[in-house]
Structure 1
Amino acid sequence: MGKSIRRPVSPKRQLKKNICFLVEGTTEENVIDHLYNKTDFPRISFHKAQYGGGGYVDIKHWIAKRRDRLDIVIVVSDLDRAAKKKEKETLIEVIHFLYRENPKNNIFLTFPDFEQWMLKGLRNPKQSLYQSLGYATKSAQKSDKSLASAVSYRLSAIG
């Protein structure tokens, strides 16, 4: 009978934390990657998802369906819906839900919406974001994957 070879125990590889940026629409999705540097966080896996922007309750449903695969969720949503009383109550419910799911979850609310939040840094806030950046239509601005670069360029031209 042969001698068995015993291998040394290998160290276990640490799993990366999974952070999901849950965004309302395409504008947020196109910009979110430019707000942080992935190389600064080597032990974190980032990904983006859209909850569809139907209402704050959609955030809760989206997370509830996927809770077993999520470590930390950072929601980026517009605050304009909270003007309605029912939506305001739902938003408060969602904030409590996020905290109960994981105290590290967070929500970033832009007022009145993400485009207006971005527009505040540009020279002529009287125009809409797509006009200020030189897009022909709002849908062209929303679908542009390099939207963050266009905003950065405009901000550097102003400064």
Structure 2
Amino acid sequence: MELRSKLEDDDELKEAVLLKVGDTTVKWNDFFYETENFSKCYKYLLSKGDKTKYGFYSKHPICIKGHIQNTKDLTEKYSAFAIDLRAPHIKIENKMNVPAISLHTQNTDLIRQIEEYRTENGEYPEIAAYCIMRAKDPHNTSTKSYLNMKGNVYRTSQLIIIQNL
């Protein structure tokens, strides 16, 4: 988040910054996405390679920032929890595109920390999470197109809770 704050108002510097993540080199503009750019993130992830046998496109390092919509206990079926982010609905032609970002974790301490930051009226906090993301082809209904993205969070150091001021 410190790097993000230094780059926030410097478009020239944003273009110049390259991050080395394992064997992958990523431009800053292809790494960090806020809520209003979730659709852009989806398109970028789809461009990163071929579809796997499980229907996902190639994995790619991403930092995603947004408000949590909810957490779900998936432990009976998957031994994990899901952290779903709120996303804007974007109308394209006669259909709403809905980016659907789900971060999965088995880290119960992380879920406990998130729950501790819920407001009195039950609202979840804003977060920034670094993870290896992947995307699936859209799930279409007659009125909506869900742009499905999934990432895994293994350690608490991969997620920052941004306190509401």
Higher RCO (C-alpha 8 Å, min separation 6): 1
Q: TM-score range by the shorter chain?
A: under 0.3
TM-score for both structures, normalised by structure 2: 0.23
